[in-house]
Amino acid sequence: MIKTFDNPAGAPAPAGPYSQVVRVDVGGGSLLYVAGQIALDDDGRVVAPGDMAAQAERIFETIGQLLDAHGAAFSDIVKITAFLTDLDRRPEYASAYKKRLLPDPPASTTVEVPRLFKPEALIEVEVVAAVGSE
């Protein structure tokens, strides 16, 4: 088993001392653990405060960049976890989710949390992807 810790160029820098992606190579494939993402711009500011749909779009754009840096795509996601500050606004998140993860949705968990580490953030999403060897 080989673990690689990565903060790929082109994606927003992590907001703390952690890796954006941990790649675990096992046998003939790899698991990608993508850290929880909030909607940050390139300067580390939250995008579209108050707009969950816009934040969800930005989050999925960032997740796409992180997956792409490791040769993966949305179709490789096997598990997704979303943390929403208001579950009544879930349809706003679901719109961005459906664009990228249907018709074969991964295992999923969505929970409501009282707040995230940046007050303007309404949603945080983490994923696990499985990719075959090249």
Mean pLDDT taken over the chain: 94
Question: Poorest-confidence range of 13-17, 67-71, 80-84?
Answer: 13-17
- Residue 54: is its pLDDT beyond 60? yes
Per the listing, tokens 């949603």 go with 123
Q: For residue range 99-114, list pLDDT tens digits in order.
A: 999 999 999 999 999 9
Per the listing, tokens 């664009």 go with 99
- Residue 123: is its pLDDT beyond 90? yes
d(CA 25, CA 27): 7
- Residue 80: is its pLDDT beyond 70? yes
d(CA 108, CA 22): 20
- Residue 133: is its pLDDT beyond 80? no
Q: What domains lie within the chain, and their CATH numbers?
A: 2-132 (3.30.1330.40)
Mean pLDDT across 60-77 = 96
Mean pLDDT across 32-40 = 96
At 59, is the pLDDT very low, low, confident or very high (cuts 50, 70, 90)? very high
